[in-house]
A and B are shown apart, each in its own frame.
Chain A
């Protein structure tokens, strides 16, 4: 039957865990890296945090295509806006444009987004733009299928005015907890930190993440056998 091809042809969706967090002086955005088509992982190292402007980035979840196209449109609008304004766009304007596109096309789009960045007027800001196209400015926000497992965690651990280091550690820990429980999230953890000094991207491969309850140590990979020398051909 063609049931084995269903997965491959299914729309690419990013199960995902995405997080945006403000700290004293900027924001930290974090995401997992799994893009799935049904049960098949189409990309295990995808980058779900995309750039809109020099100082504003967006975390994408839901339909991969929808979120990519939306980001492309908003990047284009922001580019024009920056030229006309003569200075970098504010995070608020970027988030508003994302919201306008998301709301006005709600019948066709299925994507939840987190916009985060830094500008000289307001400092670091995070805006959550979930499925219907609401715009909500929050000190931190989580999204994607993996976020369900993080609400209680953040309730307990979140505090205002963290340092950059605390914020980054918090984000990495949260994403890795979600990856442990959510089948649709996995791969590596990517973070983007934005403050007045600019943007800094970090990458945390699976083996650097802590193991949680009942998680097993990674065993030797069968691929290790490839590096061993091949046996001599038999000669008769």
Chain B
């Protein structure tokens, strides 16, 4: 798949003769080099898990979160350049809040009768307030639009991170994945990062429509432990979150005891595999 795009890869505003934009593909490579992120849609919610590769023993466990809550009902797991991810999460939070609640910029400003929606151009940042939580589909589209925006101008570089958005709104649980190119699709199960191929194979074996999130947490943990490459990367920390009926449709970290249960089940499954 990879080829050297000599001459056509200097700018994101240049197409190659075979119709590719190399800068975007290189951005995707940054995502491919990061720790695996796995997310699945179970029958009653979404479960997301991240293989957080530990860069240094001095890092405090639980810090450097890779999964962020964007709104009450949705969360975002990030893979790739962490700083880029931070920017995307901030934008998503801002889209979500502005959709629902009126936020005045300063106390004495006069709000115009005509207000323009937060349009894809990004330049118009005025507010249309709808008074209800942003539908997950809408949130994913806006984030994707924003990511895509940064692939259109030569003075901006594409985001070097992929993002999985999982949320539970009136239309049920939904899972979207947004790539550096700005593509966004809805999934039953998605994986990005180093071990994504192996992870996708594992996900396809699961019967997601019959699985509850409780079971899903265990499965995701097993998958992440399974794709973790002991030889290449030493330590990793498992970070998981869910949004489901059991969590009252709020996006939150998977409860401590369930997380421990998942970790031990995953380790046990690994040992079984090794024993074979």
Number of A interface residues in the complex (CB < 8 A): 20
For residue A100, give the distance in angstroms from its CB to the closest CB of chain B.
6
Within 8 A of B (CB), among A43-60: none
Within 8 A of A (CB), among B109-146: 111, 113-114, 117, 128-132, 135, 137-138, 141
Within 8 A of B (CB), among A62-121: 73, 77, 80-81, 84-86, 90, 92-93, 95-97, 99-101, 104-105, 121
**How far does the alpha carbon of A95 sit from the alpha carbon of B141 in the complex, in Å?**
24
Q: Which of A77, A96, A104, A121 contacts B131 (CB 8 A)?
A: A96
**How far does the alpha carbon of A104 sit from the alpha carbon of B102 in the complex, in Å?**
11
**How far does the alpha carbon of A104 sit from the alpha carbon of B126 in the complex, in Å?**
14
Whether A90 contacts B132 by the Cβ 8 Å rule is yes
For residue B122, give the distance in angstroms from its CB to the closest CB of chain A.
16
Flag whether B234 is at the interface (Cβ < 8 A).
Answer: no
Whether A121 contacts B170 by the Cβ 8 Å rule is yes
Q: Which of A73, A90, A92 contacts B113 (CB 8 A)?
A: A73
Within 8 A of A (CB), among B68-126: 102, 111, 113-114, 117
Residue of A nearest to B111 (CB): A104
For residue B28, give the distance in angstroms from its CB to the closest CB of chain A.
27
Q: Which of B111, B113, B114, B131 contacts A93 (CB 8 A)?
A: B131
Whether A104 contacts B113 by the Cβ 8 Å rule is yes
Interface size class of B (residues with CB under 8 A): 10 to 19
**How far does the alpha carbon of A69 sit from the alpha carbon of B132 in the complex, in Å?**
24
Whether B114 contacts A84 by the Cβ 8 Å rule is no
Q: Is the interface of A mostly helix, strand, loop or mixed?
A: helix
Residue of A nearest to B169 (CB): A121
Known: A85-B135, A85-B138, A121-B170. A97 touches B130 (CB 8 A): yes
Q: Which of B102, B114, B131 contacts A92 (CB 8 A)?
A: B131
Within 8 A of B (CB), among A185-202: none
Residue of B nearest to A99 (CB): B131
Whether A100 contacts B138 by the Cβ 8 Å rule is no
Residue of B nearest to A92 (CB): B132
Known: A84-B138, A86-B137, A121-B170. A73 touches B132 (CB 8 A): no
Contacts of B132 in A (CB 8 A): 90, 92-93, 96
For residue B98, give the distance in angstroms from its CB to the closest CB of chain A.
12
Contacts of A73 in B (CB 8 A): 113-114
Contacts of A95 in B (CB 8 A): 131
Known: A85-B135, A86-B137. A100 touches B102 (CB 8 A): yes
Q: Residues of A at under 8 Å CB distance from B?
A: 73, 77, 80-81, 84-86, 90, 92-93, 95-97, 99-101, 104-105, 121, 135
Given contacts A73-B113, A93-B132, 6 further A-B contacts (CB under 8 A): A73-B114, A77-B128, A80-B117, A93-B131, A96-B131, A100-B102
